[in-house]
Chains A and B, each alone.
Chain A
Amino acid sequence: MPATTFESARPLLAVVVSLAAVPLIVASSRRPNLREAWTLVAAFAKAGLVVSMLPWVLAGRTAVCRLWELSPGITLALRVDTLGLVFALVGSTLWVLTSFYSIGYMRAAGEHKQTRYFASFAVCLSATIGIAFAANLLTFLVFYETLTFATYPLVLHRETPEAKAAARKYLAYTIPAGLALLVATAITWSLAGTLEFRPGGFLTASMASPVALRLLFLLFVLGVGVKAGIMPLHSWLPSAMVAPTPVSALLHAVAVVKAGVFGVLRVTGFVFEPGLLDSLSLGTALSWVAVVTFTLASLLALAQDNLKARLAYSTVGHLSYVVLGAALVNVWSWTGAILHLTFHAILKITLFFCAGAIYVRTHRENVSELAGIGRQMPVTMAAFAVASLGLAGLPGVNGFVSKWSLASGTLMADQRLFPLLVVSGVLNAAYLFPIVHTAFFRRSPAFPRFGEASPLMVVPLGLTAVASVVLGLAPNLGLHAWDLARAAAVAVTP
């Protein structure tokens, strides 16, 4: 099949459709049902547009949408390549489920200022798809920063002192990161004279001294590493759990943090040449940082009693699986990284959906208070159990497939990393299974009766749990997750 490039406005539509919904959402702030209808319309339209581009990518055709110059020589441009489509598919399809869930959650929890909430959410999704399709670093930076600041009102949402502190902390981490990325982008432009992402990278050893290139890589990692939760840049994420649970679910398990690891993938695969990463030992350095991060994060997760905090540390750990795969740059590690970007998203959103469902029914947030809840909310906790198995990497659930690929990648690249991957798998089980055990096998004497949350919440979490199992058995079913990951990995690796 010949690889062809053609002009299309569809990527642009996919980006702006949720942005266009913002004025409508704001204008219908006094009519909640109409307002939520706009969110749903935008979510379905966005997912439909993104999915409609899947056949192009599978056929080896690349849609581009070049708009106008942002700076002389640098165009605001979108490009639907394989990696970008994967991220866009994850973000847009999960947004559909999250929209239903959000409506159920926000109404059940009686949250205030819901218009601001839904409007910010829509902006976040535009930014996310923009990040996915950005054709060059400057376009990427524009959407990346838009996402940063569109998320701010969502972290601040409750307006309690705790929420304000979390929001400030969030900015204190993300603003310097954005500035690091700005400087890195400017240096790249002055060295290479181009910012276009290219599979296999465009920065070569001849462009600057090894020290300068190492510093540049460090700036890039600082820039995208905050959202990717690389230690020690991660601590905003557990604090940000003060946001309403749908935010934690879609943004702090999928869109925002995955934008960070997506950025790592773009930098290691599309900016720096893999050979250059190798010769400067940058891949090795980053992979060790990732290993330390997922080991420490899993240990910290063990210590958390607050359910969402435990899940947040778990997210920090799993993001670094993707970072590890991105850093090693071989076909298996990249396939694993991209699959894990997708599969962790589905698994972790399930867990957060469950945590939110438990919260609106019981107002309980701590693991120790969940004894016996499995009998009261059987569907929710069954979904929780399935997703836990997936994150621990048990065969039969999708997490196994991505971890298996990653493990093969480490065996090819650096076999010292492999045992650490195994250990962290065990730790995953150690911080998740006790929750399941407590929920189903412990009994609390004075436990009032609760039922399941509303179908608006239970159906989405059930669907993601079922999807985890289906993709665990047939990773390629439906949206071709395996083919896409494989194709993106082959394009990038030497």
Chain B
Amino acid sequence: MIESNLPVAIAVVLLFGTLAVVSLGEWRRGLAWPAAFVTILVFAAMSVALLLIVMRRGPVRAPIAGWAAPIGIEFVVDGLGAFVVTVIAGIAVLVALYAREAVGRETPGRETPFFAMFLVLLLGLAGIVLTGDLFNLYVFLEIASLAGYSLMAVGDARAVVSSFRYLIMGTLGASLYLLGVGFLYTLTGSLNMADVAARLPELASNPALLVSVAMMVGGVGLKMALFPMHLWLPDAYTYASSTTTAIVAPVMTKVSAYVVIRMLFFVYDLELVSRELPVGTILAWLSAAGIVVGSVMAIAQTDAKRMLAYSSVAQVAYIGVGIGLASPLALVGAVLHILNHAAMKCCLFLVTGGVTLQTGRRSIAEYAGLGRLMPWTFAGFTLAALAMVGIPPTNGFFSKWYLVLGGIQAGEWALVAVVVASSALTAVYFFRLLELIYAAPAEGLTASDPGLGMRLPVVALGVGVLVLGLGNAWFVTHVIQPSLPGALRAIT
């Protein structure tokens, strides 16, 4: 009984946590962070418990308000959902640790609204992953987005403009998704994902179905920053405050990628749809273009945070390639990269945030010599950078490994070449930075590592990319593969 209530309880904890942050924070400003942190710890513990339960006993279904599906809304958590929620919670814990010091320094006096919105964002993201209902997903998508817009608007003066632009684009994406849901509802008379999936095969060649697929994937693709709909992302990530970027960049686009996986493999039958409309191929090639464009643009940047933002475009496109290839191992690579990229990109954005707070520096050229001044920070940075390039035994290598295997499985050699070549491009911009950090003098600067709360998450994630790399097979065998649709579960 406890199991089946756990998914709903997660949403409830986050909701009441938000209320606690607001009420305690309004009373004493210093209580906002502890309230948020405790909530996030509980959230994380519940996510891990949920993952373990799902691994042992299979998917958990939780009807809401006593109405049974398909009439009522239900939360449905399978291995994939539990995995993504755990990733969100893990990243949230580390960013919250960092936030205690950073938020106070970056936006003094605004801790209470910041942490309240932070929890609302987590509520939205967790809800998207936990729900088994198409319309309910839209609601959570908007909750997450609205929280995201307001968090992103907190930053330097340009953040308001870039956040507004993201708002316009994001709303367009969400509306497209909603239209897609409308088409599906008209076709099937249902909003429950499993129910819709069961009714779709007989409608496979219906043009309205194809339109709904295109709208959903297009709409969510926009939120995922799928090329050529990625233009909102660099500004939004660059100008937001460091804490916001550190939580939004690792998980928000990944959750959108999760939605694409959920739609294409669990609601629609990609193979069936592909007979009429080659969604997978289009997605894979757009993503391949995104990898190249993102990497090349990252090389061209002079601002460190902006470089990482373009790199995010390329890295999320990695996931897009894996989804589009739709072979068993490519999909393993895509899902694994949700975790892997979250860990490494969170680390990198925490470092750029720490550098800006400690030294006021933002541009790549100003990173010269910082390796000696901030040894702990840049030890984590170096490991995460090596993971981005995909050097074994870091986790980034194994994402690439499964994607290459998946590309070979699908016989798509050109995509294999793109994935491999992007690794070399990534090396260009990260080794340029590493060379500056470690082999150039820091002119007349005295700076040091930030406090323990800001340093610890960076080091933990740096060690994490190694642990996740060496231990990746555990996730693949025990979590990812069992949660894939039947036909894609086989290894070879």
Contact = CB atoms under 8 A, between A and B. Distances in A.
B143 interface: no
Interface in B430-445: 431, 435, 438-440
Interface string B391-431: 11100011011101100110000001000110110010001
Contacts of A153: 438
B386 interface: yes
A146 B404 CA distance: 20
Contacts of A24: none
Contacts of B474: 68-69
Interface string A60-73: 00000000111111
A37 interface: no
Contact of A182 (B389, B404, B473, B492): B404
Interface in B445-476: 470-474, 476
A106 interface: no
A183 B473 contact: no
A17 B276 CA distance: 59
A187 B408 CA distance: 7
A222 B416 CA distance: 17
B470 A182 contact: no
B439 A141 contact: no
Interface in A146-183: 146, 148-149, 153, 156, 159, 163-164, 167-168, 171, 175-176, 178-179, 182-183
Nearest to B434: A152
Given A149-B391, A183-B416, A183-B420, A193 B492 contact: yes
A142 B416 contact: no
Contact of A179 (B398, B420, B470, B492): B420
Contacts of B431: 168, 171
Contacts of A149: 386, 391
A190 interface: yes
B477 interface: yes
A167 B392 CA distance: 20
Contact of A156 (B397, B435, B472): B435
Contacts of B476: 71-72
A186 B415 CA distance: 14
Nearest to A143: B392
A36 interface: no
A178 to B, nearest CB: 8
Contacts of B416: 183
A76 interface: yes
B491 interface: yes
A189 interface: yes
B481 interface: yes
Contact of B471 (A68, A72, A179): A68
Contacts of B386: 149
A186 B412 CA distance: 14
Contacts of B408: 186-187, 190
A81 interface: no
Contacts of A168: 431, 435
A182 B420 contact: yes
B423 A72 contact: no
Contact of B405 (A141, A145, A159, A186): A186
B420 A69 contact: no
B477 A72 contact: yes
Nearest to A174: B427
A156 B439 CA distance: 8
A46 to B, nearest CB: 20
Contacts of A182: 400-401, 404, 420
Interface in B336-371: none
Label chain A's interface by main secondary structure: helix
Interface in B119-138: none
A26 B420 CA distance: 34
Interface residues of A, number: 33
Contacts of B492: 190, 193
Contacts of B440: 159
A76 B470 contact: yes
Nearest to A141: B392
Nearest to B413: A183
A69 B473 contact: yes
Nearest to B371: A116
A369 B439 CA distance: 31
A176 B392 contact: no
B439 A186 contact: no
A265 to B, nearest CB: 21
Contacts of B409: 190
Given A71-B473, A171-B427, A193-B492, A145 B439 contact: no
A175 B425 CA distance: 10
Contacts of B481: 72
A69 B472 CA distance: 8
Contacts of A193: 492
Contacts of B427: 171, 175
A42 B397 CA distance: 29
A422 B435 CA distance: 44
Nearest to B491: A72
A189 B420 contact: no
A189 B471 CA distance: 20
Contact of A186 (B392, B393, B401): B401
A436 B389 CA distance: 46
B398 A175 contact: no
A380 B421 CA distance: 47
A12 to B, nearest CB: 13
Contacts of A187: 408
Interface in A211-225: none
A433 B11 CA distance: 80
Interface string A225-239: 000000000000000
Nearest to B407: A186
Nearest to A148: B391
A153 B431 CA distance: 11
Contacts of B391: 145-146, 148-149, 178
Given A145-B391, A146-B393, A189 B405 contact: yes
Given A145-B391, A183-B420, A71 B402 contact: yes
A39 B394 CA distance: 25
A149 B386 CA distance: 9
Nearest to A178: B391
B406 to A, nearest CB: 9
Given A69-B473, A193-B492, A167 B435 contact: yes
Contacts of A167: 435
Interface string A406-446: 00000000000000000000000000000000000000000
A187 B393 CA distance: 19
B229 to A, nearest CB: 29
Interface of B: 386, 389, 391-393, 397-398, 400-402, 404-405, 408-409, 416, 420-421, 423-424, 427, 431, 435, 438-440, 470-474, 476-477, 481, 491-492
Given A71-B398, A146-B392, 5 more contacts: A69-B474, A70-B472, A156-B439, A176-B424, A190-B408
Q: Which 7 A-B pairs have the closest CB atoms?
A: A69-B473, A142-B392, A159-B439, A186-B404, A179-B420, A145-B392, A190-B408
19 contacts: A68-B471, A68-B473, A69-B474, A72-B476, A141-B392, A142-B397, A146-B392, A148-B391, A156-B435, A159-B440, A164-B435, A168-B431, A171-B431, A175-B424, A178-B391, A182-B401, A182-B420, A186-B404, A193-B492
Interface of A: 68-73, 76, 116, 141-142, 145-146, 148-149, 153, 156, 159, 163-164, 167-168, 171, 175-176, 178-179, 182-183, 186-187, 189-190, 193
